[in-house]
């Protein structure tokens, strides 16, 4: 019986296939699952700093809905992506009185604002207002309440404009951390 001759493998073609598969998998992960984002500005200080780099989880809200105090990235009206904290959920009455958050007339603590409030020399961090959150939207605010363009200015954010949730800072390397 004659042995079947095995054709020599083309090493260039094997490497090309491996690279194409790797790029396809990376593109799918970035497009559907996770993507990096760079914090642009001071609107989330002290929680996040300008130029922090984070990972956005794009699938989190397909499994479960947004939760109060999540940090999310969304498409803003100015054609940019904003990063802010969810304060109000659909149907909520969001109110601030004397620098205190009330959701549906119940006071809620915001421990992530304590550091910012301690640095205040004058007045309050968040001015008084009342807002009713429409269905299929969320009400978002930056942690730097005096320096944030958020739902107080641009209105509630439609759910379909939310890209995803973020909680992991991966750069600068020495400051890798999760944020809440």
What is the mean pLDDT of the segment spanning 52-74?
85
pLDDT by residue (tens digit) across 70-98?
A: 999 999 987 889 999 999 999 999 999 99
Q: Give dist(CA 126, CA 106) in Å, integer.
A: 17
- Specify whether the CB–CB gap between 96 and 127 falls below 8 A: yes
Q: What is the pTM of this model?
A: 0.80
Q: Is 134 part of any domain?
A: yes
**Residue 73 within any structural domain of the chain:** yes
| Catalytic site positions | 43, 84
Task: Say if 99 falls within a structural domain.
Answer: yes
User: Considering its fold, how many domains does the chain have in total?
Assistant: 1
CATH, residue 151: 2.10.109.10
pLDDT of residue 130: 96
Has residue 159 been placed in a domain? yes
Determine the average pLDDT of the residues in 52-67: 81
pLDDT over 90 for what percent of the chain? 43
User: What's the confidence (pLDDT) of residue 2?
Assistant: 57
- d(C-alpha 124, C-alpha 106), whole Å: 20
Q: Does residue 162 sit within a domain? A: yes
pLDDT at 93: 97
Predicted pLDDT at 77: 83
User: 37 near 51, Cβ under 8 Å?
Assistant: no
- Cα–Cα distance for residue pair 94/101, rounded to 1 Å: 7
Query: Which residue range(s) make up the domain with 97?
Result: 35-178
The string of pLDDT tens digits covering residues 144-161 is 999 999 999 999 999 999
């Amino acid at each position: 019986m004659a042995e079947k001759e095995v054709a020599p493998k083309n090493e260039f073609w094997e490497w090309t296939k491996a690279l194409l598969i790797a790029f396809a998998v990376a593109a799918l992960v970035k497009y559907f699952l996770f993507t990096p984002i760079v914090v642009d500005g001071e609107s989330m200080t002290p929680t996040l700093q300008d130029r922090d780099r984070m990972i956005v989880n794009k699938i989190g809200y397909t499994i479960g809905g947004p939760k109060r105090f999540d940090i999310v990235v969304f498409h803003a009206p100015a054609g940019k992506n904003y990063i802010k904290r969810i304060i109000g959920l659909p149907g909520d009455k969001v109110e601030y009185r004397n620098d205190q958050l009330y959701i549906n007339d119940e006071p809620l603590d915001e421990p992530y604002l304590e550091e910012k409030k301690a640095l205040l020399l004058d007045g309050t961090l968040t001015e008084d207002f009342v807002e009713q959150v429409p269905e299929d939207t969320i009400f978002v605010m930056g942690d730097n309440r005096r320096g944030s363009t958020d739902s107080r200015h641009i209105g509630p954010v439609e759910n379909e404009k939310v890209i995803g949730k973020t909680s992991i800072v991966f750069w600068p390397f020495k400051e890798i951390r999760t944020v809440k």
